Structure formats: C-alpha cells, structure tokens
Chain A
Amino acid sequence: MKEYGLFINGQWEAAKGGKTAPSINPATEEAWCKVAVADREDARKAVAAAKAANDSGVWRNKSPQERGEILQRVAAAMFERQDELAAAEVQDGGGTMRKAMSMDVPGAAQTFFHFGSYITGDEYKAMLQEEYEEMVPIPSRNLVVREPIGVCAGITPWNFPMVMGSWKIAPAIAAGNCVVIKPASVTPVTTLLLAEICTQAGVPAGVVNVISGPGGTAGEELATHPDVSKVAFTGSTEVGRRIMQLGAGTLKKVTLELGGKSPNIILPDANLDTAALGSLFATFMHQGQICESGTRILVHEKVHDEFMEKMLAGMQRIKIGDTMDPTTGMGPLVSSSQRDTVEKYVELGHEQGAKCVAGGKRPQGMTKGYYYEPTVFDGVDNKMRIAQEEIFGPVVSVIRFKDEDEAVRIANDSVYGLGGAVWSDNEERAVALARRIETGTVWINDYHMINLRFPFGGYKQSGVGRELGKWGLAEYHEMKHIHVGQSTPPEGKFYFQMLLN
C-alpha cells in the first residue's frame, strides 16, 4: 500500500511519533493508502521550517515577477500530474472522477496560475505601493505599502481538499508568506502532493509545509503558536470559533469560511427548465457536501408545481455509482458518520412534517460505499430543523413564498449568510433582490460560479474576511504607512510647540 509522510522543509518526513493512519476510499470502504499522523511536535517543526524560510528572505525578498513565474510553473506541473492528483482526490474523498478532472485539478491549478499571473501585473504593483501627497499640517509624501505577513497557517476541510489547499497556499505564497497547511485528516493526500509539486517547481524549501493530524493537537498548535501570524480556516462553525479564540492569545489575523444554509430563490418569471436543473446542480453536486450549496429552494407559489415537476424529472439524469466511472454524476458521502448525520436529518424532516418527494434512503443494491440518494423535501417550513441546520449532504428543502418580501424574509432567517441565487428573466429585478439577501455571494440564473477573481466569504455566522480576488490577496498582507516628512530646520515643524517653549 502507498504511504505518504508529512511534507516539511522541502522533504517527506515520517511523523515524529511514527504514527500513520489508513485513508479510506468512501466508495469501497477500504483503505487505499497510509498517511503519517502529525502531533503537536510535528506541527512545531513545520512552523519552525516556515519561520526559518520566512526570516531568511529566500522567498519574501524575491520580486513579485519571480514569485509569479514560479507559481505559474506550479500550475503547469499540476496539469502534468493530473491523473495522479485526480485519482488521489477521488479515492481520498469520494468525489467522482468526472468532477476531479473537470473541476478539482483544473480549479486548483488555475488558482496558482491566477495568483501567479496577477502578481506580475500592474494592478498588484499598485496594491503594493500607493503614494499620496499631503499638505496638512505641513507638506509630506505618504506611502501606503503592503508587505508579507510572515508565517500563515491554513486549515482545510475534506470536501474539496485540493481546491481548498490551493486557495490557502497560492495567495499566501504569492504575497511572499510561508505556510503550514493542515488538510482534513481524512483527505490529506492531494495537499501533501501539492507541497511536493510546489517544491519541484522551484518554491524554496520551508515555504510550503503540509502536515496531516488531529485538530485537538496539531490544529491547536497551529492556532496558538506565537510564530504563526495568520490562520485561514475553512470548515465547521464551532471549529472556526475555537480558532478565533485560540488565535486571540497572540492576536493572530483570522479568516474563516464556515457553514451555510443558502437560499436558492425561484421567481415566477424564471426560465423554469434552467432553474430546475440549476437547482439540482446547486444542491446535489458532490453529494451536497459544499458549504455554499443551495439547500433551501424558495419557490414562488405560482410556479411551485411546474418547477417541482421539472426538477423531479431532472433527477432521472443523476447517476449514482462507481466514482471512477466517467458516467457517474454522484458518488458516496465522505464517511459513514457523515451518512449517519444525513439519515438523522432525513428522519427529523419526516418527524417535523415535511414531505419527502424524492430519495430519503440509501440506494438499493449498493452494498459497499457510503451512498445516499438525492433527497427532496417539499412543504418545508423555514423553522424546521432541516431548513435551519446545515446537513452537508444530498438533502434539499423546498419552501414556498407568496411575494418577494416574504422570500427575502425567509432567505435572511438563518444564522448563516454564505451563498444563494435568484432565478429570473428580469435582470434588474433579480439584482435588486440579490442586494437584499444577507450573504457573501449571490448568483443570478446560476449556481456554484465561484470565481478566482472575485471575493468569496460569508456574512453572519458563515465567516470572517474574504478569500480570492484582489480582496482575498490583500488579506495576506500587512499594511504600512510611511510618512516622508521634509527635512527642515526645527521652526518648520511648528507643532513641536505643543511641547516645547
């Protein structure tokens, strides 16, 4: 069986305690490889490597042009190893090969390419140094400059390990920082491989370190270590809250991308064919294990029946099965405990009186793998627990509304505020509605269109800060104001008189 170590200071290493754990393929329920399990000591070693690389200036002192070229080489190297990366992603996390080849690998590689090319351009140059003339109280020249923060930790979830790893690594190192990434322990392999690829493509040793290990030890160490200046986390709300608490000890910068219960609003003038299939795409991609999935479909009562008919008909086009088969659209859930969670919520949906109109059970005849059918509950009240709590599985709640005010009220009646959509033929009306929705992203006549150039993140309890785009890149910089005063005799600084007689 294949074995993967930890990737620290440019090389593979065993965990200090020698511990390894098998990674289970969710489609077969069998181990496909072994991965080293880091503890507190390994986390410290990785931080020390990152700190040493940072302090040496080997990376932060390179020009953006040089760093950008290396990042673009990382992207190219990922495409060269795309078969290996895709196979590892599928076996680790249970996504489909179709998704891995069309989204995970290219999406992750493009993240490196995007930030790699962005930092070679004029817009980034302008971000790195702004200059202002000021006349008050006396003339001065003022520079606002941005610098790397130092050592940044990234903690990522199991649903999109490679893409999330890239979102944490690429902008951080583009800005000149050094990173320690802790991928989810059930899906660590592609992030470990990414570190190797970065090193082979010319990123100096110690700039990208990856360790896999439990949150209670390795994670806690990263969130508390005084040499870590920033923690970027994607995952569950309570872990995010804990990271913020632990980071408070040394006042780390923290960005968090957490849960969601995103509203997907179908207006009566929507193209219902597209909206119906789009709603399936919004909820059942990757078995619903996406933080910004459109898990609450809010449909206008006038078009409810027609929409439901089209959506349920569209479900015939979703094939559940072997993740390696390119015709498969839906694979298994990531783990047996994740399926237990989904089953608990389906039971709650029934008990609270929602009407299950599709799915609601494990697929027949599949004896291996953590599979679950795409499930639709109609007649859902937004107060029901299936409408309030994030299920993180293939379960969608359909809620009717009478008018736009009611749609907005229901959409915003959630502790979360991550994503959402509005489907309508009237663009102006849809944009006006989008502005009233309290979420970080709203798509109109679309879903899951996260774009590397634009900010992604949450309102309310869905997170803090933004990733991606120039806004996300800015979060990986410290900002400094340099006041350039004129060299004058003392009388030129008239405000000295506040102190001096």
Chain B
Amino acid sequence: MTTVRITEAAAAVVARVRTQRSGPLTFTIDGGCCEGAAPHLFEHAVITSAAREVGTAAGVPVYLQSAMIEPYEHADVTIDVIDEPLSEAMSLETEFGLRFVLREAAAVPARGRSAVEG
C-alpha cells in the first residue's frame, strides 16, 4: 500500500487553487527528466486505467502514473510545498510561485532478490 499525506502548508495551497479553478482537481505523481518524481495538481485531468489511485490529499484524489506504481508500492509519501518562483511544471500552484514536492519517509528495499550481488 502506498501511503499519501499532505502537509498543512500544501493543503492551504490546494485551498488557494480552489478559489481560482472551478473544475475537478487531481494530483498525479510521475517522474522523468528535469524534475524527478513530483506531484502535479491539474484541473480536469484525464486519468487512464494505467494509473492507480492511492488516496486523497486535501480532498483531492492522488494517482500514481504507471511507471510509479511499482517503485512507490510501499512508499510513504507526503506532498509538501516549497517556494519556487520559476517552475516549468504545469501544476496549478506554479501560478503562485510555489511548487509541490514529494517527501518520502525511509525507503524500503527493492522488490525481488536481495540487493547486492557479488
């Protein structure tokens, strides 16, 4: 089970976004290229069956995109927020010069065989 939490500060930002956007909000988590794994808050996001819902944060459903499902299977993640006046993400909080980030509790061992061989 993936555990998802959100800090008070990040939840307050979600509330602020809600004052600007009337459509349904969704958090998605994916990685790749310039940002690493990060949460993205979108309005009217299209979620396909390739993604997996892993909980809610500030009343917003949180999905792992397909590539994240396995690595985050047992992860305990917290959505937090930092000041980032210049983000290239299309996540909605970037409008306020903020960026959601993913904090992780202690990681768990890789699935399958024991890690080091030889």
Chain A interface residues toward B at CB < 8 A = 21, 23, 37, 39, 155, 157-159, 184-186, 214-217, 219-220, 223, 234-243, 245-246, 248, 258-260, 289, 291, 301, 337-338, 341, 344-345, 347-348, 351-355, 379, 381, 383-385, 388-392, 400, 415-416, 461
> What are 14 A-B pairs with beta-carbon distances under 8 A?
A184-B34, A186-B88, A236-B38, A238-B35, A238-B89, A241-B30, A260-B33, A338-B36, A381-B113, A381-B115, A383-B112, A389-B37, A392-B35, A461-B66
Q: Which of B71, B114, B117 contacts A388 (CB 8 A)?
A: B71
Do B107 and A215 have beta carbons less than 8 Å apart?
no
Could you tell me the distance in whole angstroms from the C-beta of A93 to the nearest C-beta in chain B?
Answer: 11
Could you tell me the distance in whole angstroms from the C-beta of B61 to the nearest C-beta in chain A?
Answer: 15
Would you call the interface of chain B mostly helix, strand, loop, or mixed?
Answer: loop
Do B116 and A259 have beta carbons less than 8 Å apart?
no
Could you tell me the distance between the alpha carbons of A6 and B42 in the complex, rounded to whole angstroms? 26
Closest to A40 in B: B95
Do A236 and B109 have beta carbons less than 8 Å apart?
no
Could you tell me the distance in whole angstroms from the C-beta of A489 to the nearest C-beta in chain B?
Answer: 54
Do A352 and B115 have beta carbons less than 8 Å apart?
yes
Q: Which of A184, A245, A379 contacts B115 (CB 8 A)?
A: A379
Closest to A35 in B: B86
Could you tell me the distance between the alpha carbons of A461 and B66 in the complex, rounded to whole angstroms? 10
Do B92 and A216 have beta carbons less than 8 Å apart?
yes
Closest to A239 in B: B90
Could you tell me the distance between the alpha carbons of A186 and B89 in the complex, rounded to whole angstroms? 12
A-B contact sample (18 more), CB < 8 A, given A341-B35, A344-B36, A390-B31? A21-B86, A23-B86, A185-B85, A186-B86, A215-B90, A215-B94, A216-B90, A220-B90, A235-B34, A235-B35, A237-B30, A345-B36, A352-B107, A352-B110, A381-B117, A385-B71, A388-B70, A392-B36
Could you tell me the distance in whole angstroms from the C-beta of A234 to the nearest C-beta in chain B?
Answer: 8
Contacts of A214 in B (CB 8 A): 86-87, 94-95, 97
Chain B interface residues toward A at CB < 8 A = 28-38, 40, 42, 45-46, 65-67, 70-71, 82, 84-95, 97, 99, 101, 104, 106-118
Q: Which of A245, A246, A337, A354 contacts B84 (CB 8 A)?
A: A337
Contacts of A354 in B (CB 8 A): 115-116
Do A219 and B88 have beta carbons less than 8 Å apart?
yes
Contacts of B67 in A (CB 8 A): 237, 388, 415, 461
Could you tell me the distance between the alpha carbons of A230 and B72 in the complex, rounded to whole angstroms? 34
Could you tell me the distance in whole angstroms from the C-beta of B10 to the nearest C-beta in chain A?
Answer: 15
Could you tell me the distance in whole angstroms from the C-beta of A338 to the nearest C-beta in chain B?
Answer: 8
Closest to B45 in A: A245
Do B31 and A259 have beta carbons less than 8 Å apart?
yes
Could you tell me the distance in whole angstroms from the C-beta of B117 to the nearest C-beta in chain A?
Answer: 6
Contacts of B46 in A (CB 8 A): 245, 248
Do B90 and A242 have beta carbons less than 8 Å apart?
yes
Could you tell me the distance in whole angstroms from the C-beta of B92 to the nearest C-beta in chain A?
Answer: 5
Could you tell me the distance between the alpha carbons of A248 and B34 in the complex, rounded to whole angstroms? 24
Could you tell me the distance between the alpha carbons of A344 and B37 in the complex, rounded to whole angstroms? 11
Could you tell me the distance between the alpha carbons of A185 and B65 in the complex, rounded to whole angstroms? 25
Q: Which of A235, A348, A352, A383 contacts B33 (CB 8 A)?
A: A235
Do A184 and B88 have beta carbons less than 8 Å apart?
yes
